[in-house]
Amino acid sequence: MNKKNALTQPAPSASPRKTVPEPVAPKKVAARPVQQVTAVEMGARQREISVSEFFTKNRHLLGFDNPRKALLTCVKEAVDNALDACEEAGILPDVMVRLEVVPTGGTTPSPSQATRFRITVMDNGPGIVRQQIPRIFAKLLYGSKFHRLRMSRGQQGIGISAAGMYGQLTTGKPVKIISRTGPKAVAHFFEVQIDTKKNEPLVHENKQIEWNQPQGTQVTLEVEGKYQKGRASVDEWLEQTSIANPHVRLIYQTPEGETNEYPRTYHELPPAPREIKPHPYGIEFGMLLKMLQDTKSHSLSGFLSSDFCRVSPQLADEICKTAMVSPTMKPRDLKSHAAETLYQTIQNTKIMAPPTNCISPIGEKAILSGLYKQIKGEFYTAVSRPPAVYRGNPFIIEAGLAYGNRPENQTKPKQLAMPKAEGEGEDEDSELARVIRYANRVPLLYQQSACSMFKAVLSTSWKNYGVTQSRGALPGGPMVIFVHMASVWVPFTSESKEAIADYDEIQKEITLALRECGRRLGLFLRRRERAASEYRRRNIFELYIEEVVEACNRLKGGKLLKEKLKAQLRKIATSRTGGMKTDQALGKTGTGPEGLPHSIIVTSEGVEGEVELASQVEADAAATVPPVDADLLGDEKLSVGATKSRAKKAHLRADKTPQSKAAQMGLFAEKGSSGKKPIRTRTQPEKPNKPKRPANAAAPRRKK
């Protein structure tokens, strides 16, 4: 402030002081007014701000803006940690989440009224060694993920400790941890708090206990929060997590005392992502300077080739030559100007794109299985794009789509066969699609409209694929659009990781993936339309024959042989609409998913496409898991071993979907034919090179 005043000549408008013509020395200015403080005094007040203190004041930056969001953030951080740990250790995650209402003032309020919650998250992961427990849970910016370029849910090492600190701030309760590293090891129990000034853990309690879990970690937090279902709730987050992580078995005990289980439907761990070095295109100048200081290499060329990926020693030499710096000089000696030249040179040099094996996409099959498990639709598809690069960071975009009516909606029209008034039934399809977004398998629930994924969905012209869409709006219809970005570094628009920034490369990839999904959906819809129109043709005639005959009868003064006329007209109708062929055409909605790779179609008579995947999901949801080999591709043998069901699990997915779907189609059929079911024959010759569909693969199992 002072300095500025000295430099700019007396600012006439701004300064309340007497305007002095000669330039004013900084000290004088500072000294003169009563309220001003000397540099010394100021200096006495200047001190380090601990990160913890900073975050107690700025907790919204980490997603603790309001009680409802805070509750979600705490659950999210704990679950993310659990999943990251399990996957890194190569263990298929079993995660239990429990939310309990904490009594306040002697009474236990209802979950919707409660203000305090106890969150418990337990996993079957590798556990944590005793010495590290306090620091992991009660020291901000401590962790294994920040210093490496590797795809993981967490990125900074703030999450769980921030959640702990939030709990500490709002309830004063410490974080309780139980961890066991293996069946032979002892379980340790810790109660830790964070010293917000020093950003150091304070251990309250530390003892060995008996624990019935052979291995894993359990974290218990007590926080102030608000539990409310619906959009952006804990429930929604867990549901979406289970869609993108079908390899996880998730048990969720709601504050209301219900237990929801999201079964594991994909029995393979995602391939472990590999760590990579930064790509030269992806760093900023400041970062380069820091790397120059920190490097262990003794020469500049060595630094370039060993601290970055895709820079060979030859390329390093070439870069140095172009930048006119000696390849052999010490990196530490490279001063600002030369460093800047080097930076520019690097940006202008053609360097191979970074390796992409560091990313582990969810995979089309896993997405399908996740969607199929959680969303009751008629059509599912999934697309994984090949890896691409933005600013030197490799990434993969995946998109998925579930289309069709959910069971609740499907059963409705059956009772709804009441007369419709004018204008009624026109706005029924006003439902808009839902977009679910993920970054590194973590659902993003907030700031949807700021996210480039959402924007890409809006800018895709879904009309081309037979879906309605108003200008600038989401497509209409019962549809869930799934978008996932996997990257070593996901460009969030803010620290609270809610929306993905608009990089052209990312936008383009998302759009391409969505288009592919849309194309497949369009194919499916057209095919279904074709089949249904045959259906309708027959049906309308049968419907209208009644009306026409009645009217004719009245015109003829009631002296008509109605039944005879009806029979005659029906005969004409049958001969005009292709007779039995129609029924056959209707028996099957087209011919299997040719041109529809990685898709599942659910029809009244079963599942088409990735049948095995679907039946796998069904089986997992309904019963004990039969041993299925991981290779789900094109294998026609099916493990139908839907043995005895565990009752608890069965009610979860239940058998709603297929039956009500059948009901819907049935409804269609019954309309005019008054109970006359079309005969379904499976005589159509099928294309030879298609994997044979096990007849009614999933249907019998669903009958439960």
Partner 1 sequence: MTTKQIKTTAVENKLIGLADIVITAAERSKDPTIAIPIRALSNVAFNERKGLIEMGNKKQARSFFNVGMAKKFMQTVLVADALFELQRADLTTSLREIYYRTKHTIQDSHENTFDTQDESDPVIEDLEVSLGALREELHVRAENSGSIVGPVVFGDDGDRVDCARLGKGGYSVPSIVEPEYLEVRRCTADFLLLVEKGTQWNRLSEDKFWRRYNCVLLTGNGQPPRGVRRLARRLHEEYKLPVYVLVDNDPWGYYIYSVIKQGSINLAFESQRMAIPKAKFMGLSSADPERYGLPRNVGIKLNEKDIARAKELMNYQWFQKPAWQVEIKRMLTSGLKYELDALANKDFQYLTKKYLPRKLKEKDWLD
Is 676 a residue that touches partner 1 (CB under 8 A)? no
* 586 interacts with partner 1 by CB under 8 A: no
Give CA–CA dist 246/243, Å, rounded: 6
Kindly write out the interface string for residues 541-570 of this chain, putting x where it contacts partner 1 by CB under 8 A and - elsewhere: x-xx-xxx--xx-xxx---x----x--xx-
Smallest distance, Å, CB 703 to partner 1? 27
DSSP state string for 412-446: HHHHT-SPPPTTTTSSGGGPBPEEEEEETTEEE-S
- Name the segment binding partner 1 (CB under 8 A); options: 265-273, 348-356, 655-663, 670-678: 670-678
Is the Cβ of residue 290 or residue 570 nearer to partner 1 in the bound state? 570
In the chain, how long is the greatest CA-to-CA distance?
118
CA angle 317, 319, 325 (to 5 degrees): 80
Report yes or no: 483 and 512 within 8 Å, Cβ to Cβ: no
Q: Determine which residue in the list 330, 332, 508, 671 makes contact with partner 1, applying CB under 8 A.
A: 671
CB 496 within 8 A of CB 62: yes
- Taking the complex as a whole, the smallest distance from the CB of residue 425 to partner 1 amounts, in Å, to 8
Number of amino acids touching partner 1 (CB under 8 A):
37
> Is residue 42 involved in binding partner 1 (CB under 8 A)?
no
DSSP 529-570: HHHHHHHHHHHHHHHHHHHHHHHHHHHTTT-S-HHHHHHHHH
- Of 600 and 669, which CB lies nearer to partner 1 in the complex structure? 669
Under rule CB under 8 A, residue 197 binds partner 1: no
CA separation (Å) from 543 to 223, 537, 565?
Answer: 62, 10, 14
Distance CA 522, CA 409 (A): 22
C-alpha 472/C-alpha 469 separation (Å) is 8
How distant is the alpha carbon of residue 567 from its chain centre? Answer: 57
Residue 501 binds partner 1, judged by CB under 8 A: no
Nearer to partner 1, 233 or 577 (CB): 577
Considering the complex, state which of residue 452 and residue 664 has its C-beta at the smaller distance from partner 1: 664
> Do 104 and 110 meet the contact criterion of CB atoms below 8 Å apart?
no
By CB under 8 A, the residues from 402 to 441 that bind partner 1 are: 413, 416-420, 422, 425
Query: Is position 96 an interface residue for partner 1 (rule: CB under 8 A)?
Result: no
**Nearest alpha-carbon partner for 466 in 534, 392, 517, 510:** 517
Min separation Cβ 479 and partner 1, Å: 24
- Encode 101-154 in three state secondary structure: ECCECCECCCCCCCCEEEEEEEECCCCCCHHHHHHHHHCCCCCCCCCCECCCCC
Q: Which of 316, 307, 303 is nearest to 282 (CA)?
A: 307
Query: What's the one-letter identity of residue 50?
Result: S
Dihedral sign for Cα 336, 340, 341, 342, please.
positive
What is the nearest approach in angstroms of partner 1 to the Cβ of residue 673? 9
Among 352, 572, 633, 679, binds partner 1 (CB under 8 A): 572
Specify the residue for token string 């499907």: 410
Binding test (CB under 8 A) with partner 1, winner from 32, 229, 576, 581: 576
Q: Are 355 and 309 in contact (CB under 8 A)?
A: yes
Report if residue 674 touches partner 1, rule: CB under 8 A.
yes
Residue (of 34, 675, 631, 610) closest to 368 by Cα position? 610
CB-wise, 200 or 546, nearer to partner 1? Answer: 546
Options 573, 601, 611, 622; binder of partner 1; rule CB under 8 A: 573
Chosen residue from 571, 676, 682, 690 binding partner 1 by CB under 8 A? 571
Beta carbon nearer to partner 1, 572 or 679: 572
| Residue 672 within binding range of partner 1, rule CB under 8 A | yes
- Tell me how far, at minimum, the Cβ of 562 lies from partner 1, in Å: 11
In the complex, the smallest distance separating the C-beta of residue 557 from partner 1, rounded to whole angstroms, is 8
321 binds partner 1 per the rule CB under 8 A: no
**Could you give the C-alpha distances from 243 to 248, 263, 285, 438, 655, in angstroms and in order?**
9, 10, 39, 10, 19
Nearer to partner 1, 269 or 548 (CB): 548
With respect to partner 1, which residue has the nearer C-beta, 68 or 537? 537
Q: Minimum distance between the CB of residue 420 and partner 1, rounded to whole angstroms?
A: 6
99 or 569: CB nearest partner 1: 569
Of 46 and 674, CB closest to partner 1: 674
Segment interacting with partner 1, rule: CB under 8 A, options 64-72, 271-279, 381-389, 666-674: 666-674
List contacts with partner 1 (CB under 8 A): 413, 416-420, 422, 425, 533, 536-537, 540-541, 543-544, 546-548, 551-552, 554-556, 560, 565, 568-569, 571-573, 575-577, 670-672, 674
